[in-house]
C-alpha cells in the first residue's frame, strides 16, 4: 500500500472503493472525522454533500467531484481519487481560513453523475444542482474534478468547444466567453502550482454536461499519463482519426471499435472492472491537490 494511504484523509480510501461500500455514509464519516463543516443537499432523488468554507455561504469559486460510481466498477479513478483529493484540499483551505488568508471555495460532492440506461442529462445530479444554484443567485466559477488519479499530466478539457461549435445564439456566445475565462484561470493555477505537464484536450463529459444543460458554465479537470496524453494530443491536432476519436468521447453513442483504440487507455478503463486501484499513480496526487489549492485561492 502506498504511503499516502496511511495519512488523513486517505486512510479510508480502500474502504470507499470496496464493492459493498456505502459511499455516501462513508464520505460523511470522513468529513466528520476531519472536522470539516458539511451538510447534505437533497434535490429529488439526488443527495449531494456540500463542504462549506469557514462561514456557511456560497463563495465565488465552487469545486465538484461526483462520489457515485458505475455499476460493476470499483470507481477507483472514476471518481474516488478526485473525491479524496478535494477532501485533502478542503483541509488546506480550512487551515488557510483559520490563518486569515482569505475565502475558500465551496465543494460539492455530487450524486448521480453516472447516468443509467434510459436516463437523460436532466436526470443527472448536476442538472438539478445547477438549477438550485441559479435559483439561489450563484454566479461564480465552477471547476469539476473527475478521473484525476491515474497519470502525471493535467488535462484542462476543451469538450465545451465541440458542444458549442455549431450553436450561434446569444447564450452560446456568452458561454464561449465564460469558458475561455475558466480555462485561462485553470492554466494560470497550474502554473502557480508548478505543474509542468498541462494540456488542453477534449475529455469525456462529467458533471459539466448537466451544468451546461441547465445553463451554467463549468470547467472539467482530469489527468492522463503523459504518454497517453501526448498521443491523443497529436491525434486531436489533426492526424488521421483524431477528431473522430474526440467526437466519440462527446457522443451518447457507443464509439466504434476503431474509435475506441484512439481513445486513451485510461479513459477506456473507466466505468468498468478495469478502473482498479492498481492503475492509480498516487505519487502524483499531491500535484492535483496543489493545483486545487492554487485555483481555490483565486476568489
What is the C-alpha separation between 33 and 90, in angstroms, rounded?
A: 13
Q: What is the pLDDT of residues 202-253, one digit of tens each?
A: 999 999 999 999 989 999 999 999 999 999 998 888 754 444 555 555 444 3
Looking at residue 259, its pLDDT comes to 60
pLDDT over 70 (residue 258): no
3-state SS class at 53 = coil
Looking at residue 139, its pLDDT comes to 82
Q: What is the pLDDT of residues 52-108, one digit of tens each?
A: 876 666 678 999 999 999 999 999 999 999 999 999 999 999 888 778 777 789 999
pLDDT over 70 (residue 255): no
Cα 31–chain centre separation: 19
Strand order in the sheet with 38-43: 38-43, 46-51, 106-110, 61-66, 141-145, 219-224, 153-157, 198-201
**What's the half-sphere exposure (Cβ side, CA atoms, 13 Å) at 27?**
30
pLDDT over 50 (residue 256): no
**Sign (positive/negative) of CA torsion 146, 152, 156, 158?**
negative
Looking at residue 263, its pLDDT comes to 86
Looking at residue 194, its pLDDT comes to 95
Range 3-226+281-296: architecture per CATH: 3-Layer(aba) Sandwich (3.40)
Q: In the predicted model, what is the mean pLDDT of residues 261-274?
A: 89
**Which DSSP string corresponds to 186-231?**
HHHHHHHTT---EEEE-----HHHHHHHHT---EEEEEE-HHHHHH
What is the C-alpha separation between 204 and 221, in angstroms, rounded?
A: 10
What is the C-alpha separation between 141 and 178, in angstroms, rounded?
A: 9
Looking at residue 1, its pLDDT comes to 54
Query: SS3 breakdown of the chain: % helix, strand, coil, rounded to 5?
Result: 50, 15, 35
The reply to whether omega before 9 is within 30° of 0 (cis) is yes
Q: Which pLDDT band, with edges at 50, 70 and 90, does 270 fall under?
A: very high
Q: What is the pLDDT of residues 118-171, one digit of tens each?
A: 888 999 999 999 999 999 988 889 999 999 999 999 999 998 887 777 666 777
- What residues contact 143, with CB distance under 8 A and at least 6 apart? 61, 62, 63, 64, 182, 186, 218, 219, 220, 221, 295
What is the C-alpha separation between 183 and 165, in angstroms, rounded?
A: 16
**CA nearest to 235, candidates 249, 254, 214, 215:** 249
- What residues contact 28, with CB distance under 8 A and at least 6 apart? 38, 40, 49
**CA nearest to 172, candidates 180, 162, 164:** 164
Domain boundaries, the chain: 3-226+281-296
Regarding pTM above 0.85, the answer is yes
Amino acid at each position: 500500500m502506498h504511503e499516502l494511504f496511511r495519512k488523513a484523509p486517505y486512510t479510508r480510501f480502500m474502504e470507499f472503493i470496496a464493492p459493498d461500500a456505502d459511499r455516501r455514509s462513508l464520505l460523511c464519516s470522513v468529513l466528520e472525522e476531519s472536522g470539516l463543516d458539511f451538510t447534505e443537499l437533497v434535490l429529488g432523488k439526488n443527495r449531494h454533500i456540500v463542504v462549506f468554507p469557514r462561514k456557511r455561504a456560497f463563495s465565488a469559486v465552487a469545486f465538484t467531484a461526483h462520489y457515485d460510481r458505475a455499476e460493476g466498477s470499483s470507481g477507483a479513478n472514476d471518481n474516488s481519487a478526485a473525491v479524496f483529493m478535494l477532501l485533502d484540499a478542503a483541509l488546506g483551505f480550512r487551515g488557510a481560513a483559520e490563518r486569515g488568508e482569505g475565502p475558500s471555495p465551496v465543494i460539492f460532492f455530487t450524486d448521480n453523475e453516472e447516468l443509467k440506461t434510459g436516463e437523460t442529462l436532466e436526470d443527472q445530479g448536476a442538472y438539478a444542482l445547477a438549477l438550485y444554484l441559479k435559483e439561489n443567485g450563484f454566479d461564480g466559477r465552477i471547476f469539476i474534478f473527475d478521473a484525476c488519479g491515474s497519470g502525471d499530466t493535467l488535462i484542462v478539457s476543451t469538450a465545451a468547444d465541440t458542444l458549442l461549435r455549431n450553436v450561434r445564439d446569444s447564450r452560446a456566445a456568452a458561454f464561449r466567453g465564460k469558458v475561455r475565462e475558466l480555462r485561462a484561470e485553470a492554466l494560470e493555477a497550474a502554473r502557480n502550482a508548478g505543474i509542468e505537464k498541462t494540456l488542453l484536450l477534449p475529455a469525456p463529459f462529467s458533471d459539466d454536461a448537466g451544468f451546461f444543460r441547465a445553463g451554467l458554465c463549468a470547467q472539467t479537470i482530469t489527468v492522463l499519463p503523459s504518454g497517453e496524453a501526448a498521443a491523443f494530443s497529436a491525434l486531436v491536432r489533426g492526424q488521421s482519426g483524431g477528431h473522430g476519436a474526440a467526437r466519440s468521447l462527446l457522443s451518447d453513442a457507443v464509439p466504434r471499435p476503431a474509435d475506441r483504440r484512439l481513445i486513451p487507455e485510461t479513459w477506456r478503463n473507466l466505468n468498468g472492472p478495469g478502473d482498479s486501484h492498481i492503475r492509480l499513480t498516487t505519487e502524483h496526487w499531491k500535484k492535483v491537490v496543489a493545483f486545487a489549492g492554487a485555483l481555490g485561492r483565486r476568489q
